[in-house]
Amino acid sequence: MALELTGNKELLGSALRGSRRDLSRLLSLIEKGEDVAIPENTSTKKSMILGITGPPGVGKSTLVGRIISYWKKEGKRVAVLAIDPSSPRTGGALLGDRVRMDSADSGDHVFVRSLSTRGNPGGISASLMSMVKLLESCGWENIIIETVGSGQSEIKIVAFADKIILVDGPDRGDIIQAEKAGIIELADLIVVNKSDTPGALKVAETIKSALSFSNENDSPQVLLVSAERNTGVDEMMELIRYSKSPIWRDRIKIRERLLSLWDYRLLSSSQLNQVIEDIETGSISLEDGLDILSR
C-alpha cells in the first residue's frame, strides 16, 4: 500500500530534508513490505553502490569500516546496508554487523543499517532495491551493501551494485565455491584479506592461477589487503574506482533484478501463508500453490 496518509508523507519529506531518524523509520516500513512512493532522483549525480561479498569470517565488516573511513576523508557521505542472517521462524536478524565496523558511529556523514534477509533466496533482502532508491534520493553519495555470505546464491548482489568486491581469507579455501557460483566472474576486484597471516599469498596465487585458465580478457584483479592493519586499502579503493565492469554484466543485472522482484512479490503475497498451509495438509500441490501466488 502506498504511503498516502498525511503523516507518512511528512515522514518522507522529513527524510528527504535530512532527518536520519525518519529515514530509519522509512527503511523499516519498506522492510516490512510498505510501498513507499519514493520520488525519482532528478539529479545527474548518481550514487556509487559498492557490493561487498564473500564467505563468513573473512573480515568483510572490518573491511567495510576501512572503506567508510576512506570515503569520509574524501568528504563523502556513506550509507551501509549490512545484510544479516535471519531467523527462519521470526525473520529477524541474527547478527548486527554494525558492531564490527569501526566507523559505524562517526557522525552525520555515516549511516549504517542492519537488515534481515527474511528468508529471501540468495541472502538478499527482497526490499533492498527500494531501500537503495530511498538512500539515493536522500543524498547519500556512496552506498555499501554488505551481504551475508550465503554461498552460490551470492550472485544476486549483481542486481544492486555498480561495483563488486569479492573478499576471501587465507584460511577459508572457499574460492572454488565462488567459482561454482559464478560470483568470481562478476567481481570487479578479488581481495584476499588478512594478508599479514600465513597462507594469504598462497591463496592469492591460487586464485590468480584459476583466473588464468579463463579465456576472458576482463578477469578481475587479485589484491592482498589487511583490513585489521589498514594496509592495501588505499590501493583497493583506487582499483575499484577506475575498474570498468564488462558490458555483458548489464544483461545479468536486469535478469537478477527481475528475479528479485519476482521473489519479493511471492514472499509478500497475502495468500502465502494460506498456500503453505494448504500444501502442508495436502489439499493442493506445489504447482497449484505456485499458480495461485502468480495470479
Mean pLDDT for back-to-back runs of 10 residues, the chain (295 residues) = 56 90 90 78 77 87 94 94 61 47 65 74 64 92 84 66 89 55 78 90 85 72 94 96 82 80 79 94 93 87
Question: Is 158 in contact with 253 (CB distance < 8 Å)?
Answer: yes
What is the per-residue pLDDT for 292? 92
Q: Do 237 and 289 belong together in one domain?
A: no
- Between the alpha carbon of residue 201 and those of residues 59, 134, 206, 249, the distances in Å are 16, 40, 9, 29
Q: Do 46 and 142 belong together in one domain?
A: yes
Q: Do 210 and 105 belong together in one domain?
A: yes
C-beta atoms surrounding 20 within 10 Å: 12
- Between the alpha carbon of residue 288 and those of residues 256, 270, 273, 279, 284, the distances in Å are 25, 16, 14, 9, 6
CATH code where residue 187 lies: 3.40.50.300
What is the per-residue pLDDT for 217? 66
Q: Do 166 and 292 belong together in one domain?
A: no
What is the per-residue pLDDT for 119? 54
What is the per-residue pLDDT for 127? 77
Question: How many structural domains are present in the chain?
Answer: 3
Classify the phi-psi angles of 287: left when phi > 0, otherwise alpha if psi is within -120 to 50, otherwise beta.
alpha
Q: Do 279 and 141 belong together in one domain?
A: no
| Tens-place pLDDT, residues 139-168 | 999 999 998 765 544 667 777 889 999 998
Q: Do 145 and 179 belong together in one domain?
A: yes
* Residues paired with 110 in a beta bridge: 78
What is the per-residue pLDDT for 3? 41
Query: 250-259 b/e with 16+ CB inside 10 Å = b?
Result: eebbeebeee
In 3D, which of 99, 108, 104, 102 has the Cα closest to residue 76?
Answer: 108
What is the per-residue pLDDT for 185? 74
Q: Do 24 and 167 belong together in one domain?
A: no
Q: Do 237 and 254 belong together in one domain?
A: no
Q: Do 264 and 205 belong together in one domain?
A: no
Q: Do 240 and 295 belong together in one domain?
A: no
What is the per-residue pLDDT for 126? 58
Q: Do 161 and 220 belong together in one domain?
A: yes
Q: Do 88 and 176 belong together in one domain?
A: yes
